[in-house]
Amino acid sequence: MGKLEGLRFGYSAKNEELEIYKFYQNPYKVKLAKKIIGIILALFLIFGGVAHFMTPAMYFPLIPDFLPETVVNILAGIVEIVLGIGVFIPTLRKKALLGIFILMLMFLPIHIWDALKESPAIGTKTVAMVRIAIQFVLIFLPWFAQKDGLSQEDSQEV
């Protein structure tokens, strides 16, 4: 067997649980993961916020009819850009991530409303349902990135 000796093939839930436990026991890895997640979310929001101004028509179908499209689109763009920038300011990082968490919660009903429409703005009903699932991930990530972990150093620079 040579090189393959000692390697175990297959899946073991117990080994996976152990690896997750080891990950969470290493404050540096948790802190780094939170930092990376925060940066990715911040960039996502900044680019999305700019898109509200560059291609506003793309967002109009997602805005409920009873709200003023242009005003809501501009406010959403400003909020996304401000929260995204806030993640890069160490003293505002946790508050900005909490703001992203709240914003993602606020966007969830819009995506559910879109999925329930005859013709969803995002495309097909299947795509709209997948988008709802993605929204739950987008709700979880900023919550995870901003919450206190095993150490008080989570809000400091890596």
Q: How far apart are CA 42 and CA 90, in angstroms?
A: 13
Tell me the average pLDDT across 37-50.
97
Q: Where are the alpha helices (DSSP H) in 8-92?
A: 13-25, 27-54, 69-87
Q: Which two tokens stand for residue 141?
A: 């990530």
Is the whole model's pTM more than 0.85, yes or no? no
Of the pLDDT bands very low, low, confident and very high (cuts 50, 70, 90), residue 7 is: very low
User: What pLDDT does residue 158 have?
Assistant: 44
Q: Which two tokens stand for residue 75?
A: 């406010």
Q: 153 pLDDT exceeds 80?
A: no
Residue 30 near residue 150, CB atoms below 8 Å: yes
Residue 78 near residue 91, CB atoms below 8 Å: no
What is the tens place of the pLDDT at every residue in 87-133? Answer: 999 999 999 999 999 999 999 999 999 999 899 988 899 999 999 99
Q: Which two tokens stand for residue 120?
A: 């969803």
What is the tens place of the pLDDT at every residue in 9-36? Answer: 455 555 555 566 566 677 888 888 899 9
What is the tens place of the pLDDT at every residue in 44-95? Answer: 999 999 999 999 999 999 898 899 999 999 999 999 999 999 999 999 999 9
The full set of domain ranges for the chain reads 23-151
Q: Percentage of residues in the chain with pLDDT exceeding 70?
A: 78
